[in-house]
Structure 1
Amino acid sequence: MDFLYPPETIPQYRDWNEGFQNLSLGNSQDAMKHPIYGFYQAASYHRWYVLRDLLPKHGLMVA
C-alpha cells in the first residue's frame, strides 16, 4: 500500500515526566512556565470534559 500513501513519519515521544521533581524546587511562577505544568493542566481539563460533559451527554456516568 506504500504506492497509494507514503509512510507516515512518527514524531519522537516526549517524556512529560522529565523535570517533574524540579517543579517543587522553584516558586509557582516558575512552575507555571514549565511544559509539564501545561501538560497536567490539559490532562486535567480533558478528564473534566470527559467525565462531566461528554459521557453524561451520552447517558453514561462514572462514579
Structure 2
Amino acid sequence: MGVEACIRRGVDAGALRADLDPAVSAVLVHSFVLGVSTHLLDGVPPAALHSAADLLLGGLRRPS
C-alpha cells in the first residue's frame, strides 16, 4: 500500500513517531480519508475537516 510505504519512510526519516506501526497507521489514514468523503457529502464545513486532519497528523508526528 502506498500510504504504508510513505508512513514507513516518515518513521525512518525521523519525521514521524518511532513507535508507529506503519501498517496500522495506514489503515487509520485510509479510514479517515473515507470518512472525510462522507462528511463532505453530509455538508460538514471544510474548516472542521481541516482541523480534524491536523489533529490526526499531529498524532503521527514525532514530538518536537
Which one has a larger percent helix, Structure 1 or Structure 2? 2
State TM-score, norm by structure 1.
0.37
> Which of structures 1 and 2 has the larger relative contact order (alpha carbons within 8 angstroms, sep 6+)?
2
State TM-score, norm by structure 2.
0.37
